[in-house]
Chain A
Amino acid sequence: MELIDADLVARVLVDDDQHAFGELVRRHQSSVRGMLRQLTRTDAALADDLAQETFVRAYKNIRSFRGEARFSTWLYRIAYNCFREDARRRKEFVGIDEEQLQAEQDPQIVDSALRHDLMHALSLLPLHERSAVLLCCQNGLSHDEASRVLCIPLGTVKTNVLRGREKLKRTLAEWGPN
């Protein structure tokens, strides 16, 4: 009988059971790391560092998980906060900003082998649209859940998803066979 996430969380809370927490990490590592890879624009090493930070923070703050949302939604929120904090730090120390990264990823110079790569098209979206599309379309969160993860109003999430989807479709159409 496979334990559900809530049972595992209860074990961590009651017995400080790190094996139970390990099971939670195993279950969610792929989606959290995948999301962070997209947010960091496929910087796998940075994404994995942030994912580790996410799970360590989740363990330390597991008492604040009240079970109102799914455990994965709660994790995505922590992951997104880790990403934002890291991006802010990098911006302060290195001077990287979203527009600069955007310019570096000009679709005109995309390798032809990647033309139909949806993940690449996704990485070209601006951060606010990319994160909304990632959460709602790829990870299956509702608009309401995504608004809680991203700490933005529900209407903004809907707009960002809509615009993100439109841009994705347009990019894929441009890359498609003529």
Chain B
Amino acid sequence: MDEISEEDRLDRQLRDAAPYLDDNGFTARVLHQLPAPSRTRRSFRGAIILAAALLASALAYIASDGGRFLIVAMARLAALPTLWFFVVVFGSGILVMTAGVIAAISKASELQS
């Protein structure tokens, strides 16, 4: 038992004896030596997302008989009673606003840290 506590004491002393080394420009020197970030990878990823979005839109347009689903959806919305129309618009607005506020708060706290 005494031996264990003696080992713990030695470990603690070792940890305490190790000084914290101030950065003193070390990080800057390391960052200066890093290879330049790859721009091609980022633009390639953007191109893939754009191509996938265009393809999905084209498929949806063709599959819906030339965008008929949009006309049908608009007709349904127009046929809604005024109160229900207001509820749908208000609900959508609240949903989008909540998502925006959450994104803004998370970005702000990230920048603060």
Interface residues of A (CB under 8 A from B): 1-3, 15-18, 21-22, 25-26, 29-31, 33-34, 48, 51-52, 55-56, 59-60, 117-119, 122, 133, 137-138, 140, 165, 168-169
Determine whether the beta carbon of A29 is less than 8 Å from that of B37. no
Determine whether the beta carbon of B34 is less than 8 Å from that of A118. no
Determine whether the beta carbon of B110 is less than 8 Å from that of A34. no
Determine whether the beta carbon of A119 is less than 8 Å from that of B17. yes
Binary flags per residue of B87-113, CB closer than 8 Å to A gives 1, else 0 = 000000000000000000000011001
Name the CB-closest residue of A to B15: A138
Question: Which of these binds chain A: B21-29, B47-55, B58-66, B68-76?
Answer: B21-29
Contact of B35 among A33, A48, A55, A60 (CB under 8 A): A60
Contact of A48 among B18, B26, B33, B113 (CB under 8 A): B26
Contact of B30 among A15, A25, A119, A168 (CB under 8 A): A25
Query: How many Å lie between the Cα of A162 and that of B15 in the bound state?
Result: 17
Q: A1-B110, A33-B21, A118-B14 are in contact. Are A26 and B38 (CB under 8 A)?
A: no
Contact of B109 among A1, A26, A31, A33 (CB under 8 A): A1
Question: 23 A-B contacts, Cβ less than 8 Å apart?
Answer: A16-B38, A16-B42, A18-B34, A25-B27, A25-B31, A26-B27, A30-B20, A30-B22, A33-B21, A33-B26, A34-B21, A51-B26, A52-B26, A52-B33, A55-B30, A56-B33, A59-B34, A117-B17, A118-B17, A119-B17, A137-B15, A138-B14, A165-B10
Cβ contacts under 8 Å, A118 to chain B = 13-14, 17
B81: interface (CB < 8 Å): no
Interface residues of B (CB under 8 A from A): 6-7, 10-11, 13-15, 17-23, 26-27, 29-31, 33-35, 37-38, 41-42, 109-110, 113
Cβ contacts under 8 Å, B38 to chain A = 16
Contact of A122 among B7, B14, B110 (CB under 8 A): B14
Query: How many Å lie between the Cα of A62 and that of B47 in the bound state?
Result: 24
Name the CB-closest residue of B to A119: B17
Query: How many Å lie between the Cα of A48 and that of B33 in the bound state?
Result: 14
Cβ contacts under 8 Å, A168 to chain B = 10
Q: A33-B26, A51-B26, A165-B7 are in contact. Are A18 and B31 (CB under 8 A)?
A: yes
Cβ contacts under 8 Å, A119 to chain B = 17-18
Determine whether the beta carbon of B42 is less than 8 Å from that of A15. yes
Least CB distance, B3 to chain A, in whole angstroms:
10
